Amino acid sequence: MLVMQIAQTVLAVAVAPLLTGMVRKVKARLQYRTGPSVFQPYRDLSRLFTKETVVAHNASWLFCAAPTFVFAATWVAAAQVPTISFDVALSPAAELIALFGILTSARFALALAGLDIGTSFGGIGSSREVMIASIAEPAILMLIFVLALVAGSTRLTDIAFFVASPSVGLRISLLLAFVGLAMIAIAESGRIPVDNPATHLELTMVHEAMVLEYSGRHLALIELAAALKLLFYVSLISAVFVPWGIAPSGGTFVQYIIAMTLYLFKLAVAAATLAFFEISIAKMRVFRVPHFIGAALMLVLLAALLRLVSQSF
Amino acid sequence: MIPLVPDIAHFLAGLLVLLSFVQLYQSRLPPLISIFAAQSLALATFVAWQAQIQHAPHLVITAGITLIFKVMIIPLALHGLIRSLKIHRTVETVVGIGPAMMTGMALVGLSMALMMRTSAAVDVVVREDIAFALSVVLLGLLMMVTRRNAVSQAIGFMSLENGLVLAGTGAKGMPLVVEISVAFSVLIAFIVVGIFIFRIRERFDTVDIAVLDRFRGERP
C-alpha cells in the first residue's frame, strides 16, 4: 500500500532525532543532570541547516556529494523496516541483504569522504570505521542466515510476520540472534563501548573523526543520517523480535493508531535501555572492539549451528 | 499457552548455555560473580518450572537450595572474599577470548552431536535439554582450564555443577537425596576453595595458580 509506505518513510525521518534526544535525555537523568529537552536534536538540525557551509580548498566533488548520498541511503534503509504496517508498497524489496548492502554503501561513501580532505583525523576515522565494518559484516551475514533459517525468508516483512504468528514460541536461536544483533547494532550505530558519539578526543573517536571537516547543511545531513541509522537498528530489532502490534494488511484506522503508539512506546523502551547500558559500561579500547564484535559473531554462529542440528531451536 | 510449555524449559536451558559463554567472555572478577549468580537464578527458575510440569514437588526443594545457596550466599561470599583480598579490580589474563569462545563453540557442537547419536530413542525436548546440560558442564571445565585465577576457577567449577543439576532435573525421576548431596558437596567445595584461596594468598601474595607450578618445581 503506497500510503502506508509514504507514512513509514516520513515517520522514520520525523522520529529519528526524537530517538536520539530521548537517549540523551534518559542518560542525563540517570547521571543526575537535567539534560536538554528531547526536542533539542531538531533545534540543532534546524540551526545547522541555516548556517554557512564551509568546504576545504582541496576538497573534491566527493566531499560535497557524500552527505547527501549517506543520508539518502540510510533513509531508504530505515524506511523499509516494517514499523506500522506489514503491507507496504516496497515490502517485496525489503530484503535484509539488500538493506545491509545499502547501509554498507553509505559507510563506504563516508569513509571515502573522510579520506578525501587528506587530514590525519579523517584518515584514522576511516581506517577504524572500515576495521569495525570488516568484522561486523560477517556477523551480520550470519545473522541473516539464522533469521532465514528460522523464518524461511530473507524478506523483512516475512520474518516479522512469521515471528508474530502464534506458532512460534520461545526459540533459543532467536534468543542468541537477539543478543548478537543487539551487540552488532551498538557497534554499527557507534554507541558507547565501541564509539562515543559525544566525544572529540582523538584517541577514541571513530565516526566523529571522519566527519570532523563537515559544517553547515552537510553536517546536518550527516547527523540526521546517524540518527536514522540508530533508528534503523532499533526498528529492526523491534520488527524482528517484538513485532506485536504491527497492523496486518488491510488494517483499520484504529489498528494503525495502535501500531503507531506501540512503535513509539518501543522506541522509548529502547532509548531507556540503551541509555542505561551506556552509563553502566566504559568505552573500550579500539583494539578490544574486535573481541566485542567477535563475541557477537560467535553467538550468531552458535544460533546457526543449533538451528542446523535441530528444528526445534 | 499449551505449545509454550516445553519451549520455556528449552529457553531457560539455552539461557544457561548463553550465560556460560558470557562467563567465558568476561575477564573481570565482580561481573563474573554476578553472571554466575544470574546463571544460578536461571537454573533455579528452570528447576521450579520442571517441578511444575513434571508434578514433582521435591524439585521445588532443589530450586530453593539453588536459590538460597548459589544465587545469594555463594556470590555474596565471593564478593566479600575478593574485596577482602583486594583483588576486585584485577583484570585477569585469559588465554584469549577469541580462542576460548571458539573452543566453547566446538564443545557445544560436540555435546549436540554426541547426544543426537547416543539417545536417539528419547523424547526430543529431554534429549536437547541434556545436550545443553552437557554443554554447560564442558564450558565450566573449559573455564577452569583457561583461567589462571583461583577465584574464577572456583566459579568455573560451580558453573559446571549448575550443568549437572540441569541434567539431573531435566530428566524425570532423579531422587532428592542425590540432589541434596550434590548441593552440599558444592557448598563444601566452596568452603574448601575459599580456604585454599586464602592459603595461597598468605603463602605467595597472589591468587595466580601458576605460582603453584613453580613452587612444586614443575616450571622453572
Q: Return per-residue pLDDT of chain B as tens, 220 residues.
A: 345 666 788 888 889 999 999 998 888 889 999 999 999 999 999 989 888 888 888 888 888 888 988 899 889 988 988 888 877 777 766 677 788 888 999 999 899 888 888 877 777 777 888 889 999 999 999 998 888 777 888 888 889 888 888 888 877 766 766 777 777 777 777 777 777 777 777 777 777 777 777 777 776 5
Q: Does the distance separating the beta carbons of B11 and A170 come in below 8 Å?
A: yes
Asked if the C-beta of B116 comes within 8 angstroms of chain A's C-beta atoms, the answer is: yes
Contacts of B26 (CB under 8 A, 6+ apart): B32, B35
Q: Any alpha helices (H) in A166-288, and if so which ranges?
A: 172-188, 207-210, 216-241, 253-279
Nearest-neighbour CA in chain A from B37: distance (Å): 18
* Interface A-B: count of C-beta contacts within 8 A: 65
Grid cell digits, residue B41: 537464578
The residue behind cell 559500561 is: A281
| Partner residue opposite B10 with nearest CB, options A167, A172, A295 | A172
Asked if the C-beta of A169 comes within 8 angstroms of chain B's C-beta atoms, the answer is: yes
Residue A310 with chain B: CB contacts under 8 Å: 112, 116, 124, 128
Q: Which H helix or E strand runs over B207? A: none
Residue B104 with chain A: CB contacts under 8 Å: 298
Asked if the C-beta of A291 comes within 8 angstroms of chain B's C-beta atoms, the answer is: yes
Q: Containing domain of residue B59, as a range?
A: 4-215
Q: For residue B52, tell me if it sits in a domain.
A: yes
pLDDT score for B92: 67
Q: Does the distance separating the beta carbons of B102 and A298 come in below 8 Å?
A: yes
| Partner residue opposite A170 with nearest CB, options B4, B25, B101 | B4
Q: Any alpha helices (H) in A57-200, and if so which ranges?
A: 61-80, 96-116, 120-151, 156-164, 172-188
Q: For residue B45, tell me if it sits in a domain.
A: yes
Nearest-neighbour CA in chain B from A172: distance (Å): 6
Q: For residue B132, tell me if it sits in a domain.
A: yes
Asked if the C-beta of B11 comes within 8 angstroms of chain A's C-beta atoms, the answer is: yes
pLDDT score for B58: 82
Q: Does the distance separating the beta carbons of B15 and A167 come in below 8 Å?
A: no
Helix (H, G, I), strand (E, B) or coil at A221: helix
Residue A299 with chain B: CB contacts under 8 Å: 18, 21
The reported pTM is 0.87
Q: What pLDDT digit, counting tens, does each position of A216-232 carry?
A: 999 999 999 999 999 99
* Residue A216 · residue A134 · CB < 8 Å: no
Helix (H, G, I), strand (E, B) or coil at B158: helix
Q: How far apart are the first and last CA of chain A?
A: 34
pLDDT score for A312: 66
Q: Which of B200, B139, B131, B141 is nearest to B166 (CA)?
A: B131
Virtual torsion, Cα B134, B139, B145, B146, nearest 10 deg: 170
Dihedral (CA of A134, A140, A145, A148) sign: negative
Grid cell digits, residue A133: 565494518
Mean pLDDT (10-residue bins), chain A, 313 residues: 88 94 94 93 95 90 94 94 85 89 94 90 91 93 92 89 80 89 92 84 83 92 95 94 84 87 94 93 86 89 83 67
Grid cell digits, residue A218: 552537510
Q: Containing domain of residue A297, as a range?
A: 2-309
Tell me what ipTM this predicted complex has: 0.77
Asked if the C-beta of A302 comes within 8 angstroms of chain B's C-beta atoms, the answer is: yes
pLDDT score for B2: 46
Q: How many CB atoms lie within 10 A of CB B6?
A: 19
Find residues 108-167 of chain A whose CB sits inside 8 Å of chain B.
Answer: 167
| Partner residue opposite B7 with nearest CB, options A170, A176, A306 | A170
Mutation target vs B (from A172, A308, A312; most B CBs, 10 A cutoff)? A172
Q: Which of A98, A89, A77 is nearest to A239 (CA)?
A: A77
pLDDT score for A127: 92
Nearest-neighbour CA in chain A from B118: distance (Å): 15
pLDDT score for B147: 84
Find residues 23-52 of chain A whose CB sits inside 8 Å of chain B.
Answer: none
Residue A85 backbone dihedrals phi, psi, to 5 degrees = -135, 145
Mutation target vs A (from B1, B2, B18; most A CBs, 10 A cutoff)? B18
Residue A169 with chain B: CB contacts under 8 Å: 3-4, 7
Find residues 125-144 of chain B whose CB sits inside 8 Å of chain A.
Answer: 125, 128
* Residue A227 · residue A45 · CB < 8 Å: no
Q: Does the distance separating the beta carbons of A175 and B124 come in below 8 Å?
A: no
Q: Any alpha helices (H) in A117-171, and if so which ranges?
A: 120-151, 156-164
Asked if the C-beta of B2 comes within 8 angstroms of chain A's C-beta atoms, the answer is: no
Find residues 213-272 of chain A whose CB sits inside 8 Å of chain B.
Answer: none
Quote the CA–CA distance of B97 and B146 in Å, as a whole number. 10
Structural domain count of chain A: 1
pLDDT score for B1: 38
Residue A298 with chain B: CB contacts under 8 Å: 21, 101-102, 104-105
Asked if the C-beta of A176 comes within 8 angstroms of chain B's C-beta atoms, the answer is: yes
Structural domain count of chain B: 1
Q: For residue B220, tell me if it sits in a domain.
A: no
Nearest-neighbour CA in chain B from A171: distance (Å): 6
| Partner residue opposite A309 with nearest CB, options B15, B98, B116 | B116
Q: For residue B23, tell me if it sits in a domain.
A: yes
Nearest-neighbour CA in chain B from A112: distance (Å): 31
Residue B109 with chain A: CB contacts under 8 Å: 305, 309
